């Protein structure tokens, strides 16, 4: 669906609705899932739980067209309009989100209070192969020390 016409500030743009998942990064931050609502050669409109500021630089994945840099130009209730650093080529705009869908990362923003707990759970999940046997070794050692201390009394 193409929408042509005057957009805010008298800017002429041809936008294509996508409603496609994508991944965004902010200044050195972790990747965050976003929903790309529409796109044009000059910018993109996204929906995300991330709190972005006007003028903030982001990088966004355009499935089929690569990753590009953009700047947040407006915000409204979790929706953000972003202008590309440089307009993308017409063939990249046409290819974006026209192929297989992007696989969602399953990552959303984590509240700061939950970050430590989530980190420990992720660490344990990745290292449980050796963590469980190591726990057993430490528990056995603790029991042996306790038994030895009791017999010395």
E strand or H helix at 114: helix 112-152
* pTM, 2 dp: 0.57
Taking the CA atoms of residue 142, residue 143, residue 147 and residue 153 in that order, the dihedral angle to the nearest 10 degrees is 40
Q: How long is the chain?
A: 153
**Cβ count near 13 (within 10 Å):** 15
Per-residue pLDDT of the chain (153 residues; tens, 9 = 90+): 333 333 444 455 588 888 888 889 988 778 888 999 999 999 999 999 888 999 999 999 888 888 899 999 999 999 999 999 999 888 888 888 776 555 555 555 545 456 666 766 776 666 665 556 767 788 899 999 999 999 887
Helix/strand/coil for 145: helix
Residue 123's pLDDT is: 66
The pLDDT of residue 10 is 43
* pLDDT at site 121: 72
């Amino acid at each position: 669906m193409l929408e042509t016409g005057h957009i805010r500030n008298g800017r002429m743009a041809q936008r294509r609705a996508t409603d496609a998942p994508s991944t965004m990064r902010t200044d050195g931050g972790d990747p965050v899932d976003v929903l790309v609502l529409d796109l044009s050669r000059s910018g993109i409109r996204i929906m995300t739980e991330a709190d972005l500021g006007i003028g903030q630089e982001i990088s966004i994945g355009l499935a089929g067209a690569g990753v590009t840099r953009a700047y947040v130009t407006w915000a409204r209730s979790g929706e953000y309009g972003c202008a590309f650093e440089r307009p993308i080529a017409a063939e990249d705009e046409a290819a974006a989100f026209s192929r297989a869908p992007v696989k969602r990362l399953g990552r959303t923003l984590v509240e700061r209070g939950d970050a430590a707990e989530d980190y420990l759970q992720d660490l344990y999940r990745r290292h449980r192969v050796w963590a469980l046997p190591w726990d057993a070794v430490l528990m056995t050692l603790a029991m042996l020390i306790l038994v030895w201390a009791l017999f010395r009394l």
